[in-house]
Amino acid sequence: MIEYDVVICVGCLIKDETMHFEYMSESVSNGITTLNLKKTAPIIFGVLTCLTEEQARQRAGLMEGQFFFFFFFFFFFCFITSIFIFQTKK
């Protein structure tokens, strides 16, 4: 079995007209929480939960002029968080 030092979960859930959004959001959150409790490697929650596709594009930094800022901030945040959690789980 392969062991990892850090796992970063990246994704996006967009609400539609059905209740699937709530079920999926809860399932993803619970799954990542369960993995964090069972595994020694930190698992970072990087999943966007958005109400509309436009909101998802804004949060993902895909609107004009935001691209570099978002990716720099997001990966810097994930990197710093993973180091902090990795050090505390040792």
Q: Copy the structure tokens of residue 41.
A: 């490697």
From the list 72, 70, 80, the residue with the least C-alpha distance to 44 is 80
| C-beta neighbour count of 90 within 10 angstroms | 6
Q: Which residues contact 56 (CB under 8 A, 6 or more apart)?
A: 12, 14, 48, 50
Whether 52 is catalytic: no
Q: Which of 5, 10, 11, 20 is catalytic?
A: 20
CA distance 2 to 21: 32
Positions marked catalytic: 20
